[in-house]
């Protein structure tokens, strides 16, 4: 296995009185796409939010490039090169696509070749560049949300269910864009329920249940093993398509 970019070791997270993560151990190799799968409520979103410092780990270590980031606040974690695309997308609906993009750039105006590259990945952004983000379709908003996360080069992006509620054609476009992003230096940790997308993009996979990782391995192995899918997920992942 390639060297790990991100390693969670025995991570526990409490949200108020609730104990949500019960010792998460997870390795995200440098390069490629790591999928994080599991039933609703398994703790996938909480894991991403804990990595990003939006929830504080109550125990355990989170190492990024070998450094423990578990005690850092979110801006410091972002500064190290990690971006988060939340399920609710976190875009400003009253602002234009352009304004949303400019606000996402931390170090001044983004360079034009990179903006062009992003608009080639997500062509609707170019079409609606001067339109309020609130007027975009669900899929276009999702594209804008991912585009904001990559406006500057990132070592790691965490993406929470980017295909939720989207039409098949948009899912295809999103999959193609993420595949191109995967060809760059960016590592992706992707929470996804759509197994066709998981299979198309994932290099490695971790499956969560009840706040723990219950399986880690190569996506190709899980993809080829219906019995394992059945044991891990309680039903064949094919049923999630």
Ligand X SMILES: Nc1ncnc2c1ncn2[C@@H]1O[C@H](COP(=O)(O)OP(=O)(O)OP(=O)(O)O)[C@@H](O)[C@H]1O
By beta-carbon proximity to ligand X, the closer residue of 100 and 229 is 229
Quick one: 88 or 183, whose CB is closer to ligand X? 88
- Residue closer to ligand X (CB basis): 42 or 201: 42
What is d(CA 87, CA 161) in angstroms, rounded to the nearest whole number?
Answer: 6
Task: Decide whether 15 or 220 has the Cβ nearer to ligand X.
Answer: 15
Token pair of 125 as six digits: 């952004």
* Minimal distance, residue 141 CB to ligand X, in Å: 18
Place of tokens 């939010």: 49
CA angle 103, 106, 108 (to 5 degrees): 85
Please report how close the Cβ of residue 47 comes to ligand X at its closest, in angstroms. Answer: 7
Distance CA 221, CA 223 (A): 5
Closest approach, Cβ 145 to ligand X, in A, equals 16
Q: How far is the CB of 87 from ligand X (least distance, A)?
A: 7
Which residues lie near ligand X (CB under 6 A)?
15, 18, 20, 38, 40-46
Two tokens, residue 39: 């039933």
CB closer to ligand X out of 52 and 151? 52
Length of the chain: 241
The helix (run of H) or strand (run of E) holding residue 178 is helix 168-182
What's the rounded Cα separation, in Å, for the pair 241 and 239?
Answer: 6
Q: Report, in Å, the least distance between residue 21 CB and ligand X.
A: 8
């Amino acid at each position: 296995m390639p060297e790990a970019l991100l390693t969670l070791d025995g991570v526990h997270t409490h949200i108020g009185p609730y104990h949500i993560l019960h010792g998460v151990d997870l390795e995200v190799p440098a390069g490629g796409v790591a999928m994080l799968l599991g039933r609703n409520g398994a703790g996938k979103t909480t894991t991403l939010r804990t990595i990003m410092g939006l929830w504080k780990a109550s125990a355990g270590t989170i190492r990024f490039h070998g450094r423990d980031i578990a005690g850092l606040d979110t801006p410091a974690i972002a500064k190290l090169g990690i971006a988060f695309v939340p399920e609710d997308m976190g875009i400003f609906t009253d602002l234009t696509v352009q304004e949303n993009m400019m606000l996402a750039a931390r170090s001044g105006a983004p360079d034009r070749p990179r903006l062009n590259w992003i608009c080639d990945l997500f062509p609707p952004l170019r079409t609606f560049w001067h339109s309020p983000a609130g007027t975009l379709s669900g899929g276009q908003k999702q594209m804008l949300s991912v585009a904001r996360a990559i406006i500057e080069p990132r070592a790691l992006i965490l993406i929470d269910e980017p295909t939720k509620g989207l039409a098949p054609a948009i899912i295809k476009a999103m999959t193609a864009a993420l595949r191109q992003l995967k060809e760059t230096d960016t590592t992706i940790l992707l929470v996804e329920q759509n197994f066709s997308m998981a299979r198309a993009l994932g290099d490695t996979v971790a499956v969560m249940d009840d706040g723990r990782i219950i399986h880690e391995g190569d996506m190709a192995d899980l993809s080829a093993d219906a019995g394992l899918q059945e044991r891990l997920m309680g039903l064949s992942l094919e049923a999630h398509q």
